[in-house]
Amino acid sequence: METTPAVAAGRGAGPDRQPVAEALTSPNEELPEALTPEELAAQWEEEKPPAAGPLANAASSLVVLAIGLGALALSVAMGLGTPEKPEPGLWPFLTSCVMVALAIFQLVWGRHNRDAEKFTRMSLSPLTGLATLAAMVTLMPVIGFELPSLILCIIWMKFLGSETWRSALLVSAIVVAAFYGIFVLALGTSIPHLF
């Protein structure tokens, strides 16, 4: 009975057997050379996108600060309540406070951060995600959560995540069905829904 290279590799290398690396590669194919940590760090340094300057760091901090202050005002308008009897604005208020604090910290001390990347075309992806999320929230009270959630998942998976159409459609349908099962059927929440 003839032994395949994979089986021989599994048994280990011996005088009459090929070493594992040779058994799994063709004779003309060489294994990539292992890099030292210093070489790997140098390679990453060469391949990384250009760094953002102090102006871009300050601009991004101001955007986060503006969003945090807007969310802070909206959460106060919804009502905070008390820790024992929280109202709808309490958790958004706390989250907004963290956003504002982090934005101020970044604005004051993080201006000269050299790890931040320069704004590129890929920087629009978060804005696309935010815009589609806002559209979903706007449409939910009008037509329920099923269709807006399905469209949101498809856009995020296909266009922002670069998934195939088949996986984007399948996973989106499963996610919406799971949310429907949990929040409408199992918990009976008052989330707007069509069915």
Residues 161, 168: Cα–Cα separation, whole Å: 9
- Structure tokens that stand for 23 in this block: 């058994």
- Sequence-distant (6+) residues with CB within 8 A of 86 are 80
Positions of the chain with pLDDT under 70:
1-32, 49, 111-115
Task: Tell me what pLDDT residue 153 has.
Answer: 95
Task: Tell me what pLDDT residue 34 has.
Answer: 78
Task: Tell me what pLDDT residue 62 has.
Answer: 92
pTM of this structure: 0.52
Distance of CA 180 to the CA centre of its chain: 23
Task: Tell me what pLDDT residue 28 has.
Answer: 55
Task: Tell me what pLDDT residue 6 has.
Answer: 45
Angle, in degrees to the nearest 10, between helices 165-179 and 146-154 = 150
Instruction: With beta carbons less than 8 A apart as the criterion, state whether 158 and 168 touch.
Output: yes
| For the chain, percent of residues with pLDDT exceeding 70 | 79
Task: Tell me what pLDDT residue 46 has.
Answer: 78
Residues 152, 140: Cα–Cα separation, whole Å: 12
Which helix or strand (DSSP H or E) is residue 114 part of? none
Task: Tell me what pLDDT residue 11 has.
Answer: 46
Task: Tell me what pLDDT residue 30 has.
Answer: 59
